Chains A and B, each alone.
Chain A
């Protein structure tokens, strides 16, 4: 079974630039999550999708972050404009309806904002 795919693996940008991350969940997984993991901390949920609908985006900084999952499969997370404090690893995770509560993570995108 293929895992959660994310790209790019690394991204370096200057502050005020924009950046986008892509995630393809495990096939058939209806629930998709984006987490932000700042160095030395645990992952923090940014947004949760159920199919193509947003379930929870209460911790998403909506003035600069946006995310979509238009067809209920892959998803894109965008930051515009980026700030220095956005430097982190952005992890995508997915969960299947038949798989109980288990979340499966992608390898993440490491973002450095200079």
Chain B
């Protein structure tokens, strides 16, 4: 089955700096890659997603890039703010397998004011 690896496990950045989280996946048939943000004690919230026919997607301060050949994708957060502090999860799924998501292990991001 699919395996998703996520790095780093923790990331500390100064407010205003950029944060980058990287994920690799094993199944070349995976075609959907969402990113979830989870604050302490709360549900995972979808913040951005990308499909395999697109190489990059942006939404304000958040962007995701996908390299299908290398089977990796990354989340970029620019101009970080204290409210960006949370755990971020990448995931992968394929439409031929019921779109079930396989998650990475998570990255705890701390934005220091």
A108-B43 in contact given A40-B106, A42-B105 (Cβ < 8 Å): yes
Q: Which 3 pairs between the two chains have the least Cβ-Cβ distance?
A: A42-B103, A105-B43, A101-B32
User: Is B82 engaged at the interface, CB distance under 8 Å to the other chain?
Assistant: no
What's the Cα separation between A85 and B20 when bound, in Å?
A: 32
Q: Which of B1-37 contact A (CB under 8 A)?
A: 1, 4, 6, 32, 34, 36
- CB-based contact A45/B100 at 8 Å: yes
- CB-based contact B99/A95 at 8 Å: yes
Checking B45, B99, B103, B104 against A101 with a beta-carbon cut-off of 8 angstroms, the contacting residue is B99
Checking B34, B43, B45 against A91 with a beta-carbon cut-off of 8 angstroms, the contacting residue is B43
Selected interface stretch from A15-23, A48-56, A68-76: A48-56
Q: List 24 A-B contacts (CB under 8 A).
A: A33-B101, A41-B105, A41-B106, A42-B6, A42-B103, A42-B104, A42-B105, A42-B106, A43-B89, A45-B101, A48-B98, A55-B98, A56-B97, A91-B43, A91-B44, A95-B99, A101-B49, A101-B99, A102-B46, A103-B34, A103-B46, A105-B45, A107-B43, A108-B43
Residues of B within 8 A of A55 (CB): 98, 100
What's the Cα separation between A58 and B36 when bound, in Å?
A: 24
The winner among A48, A103, A105 for most chain B CB atoms within 10 A is A103
Chain A proximity of B44: nearest CB distance (Å): 5
Residues of A within 8 A of B99 (CB): 31, 95, 101, 103
The winner among B4, B100, B103 for most chain A CB atoms within 10 A is B100
What's the Cα separation between A44 and B104 when bound, in Å?
A: 9
Residues of A within 8 A of B105 (CB): 41-42
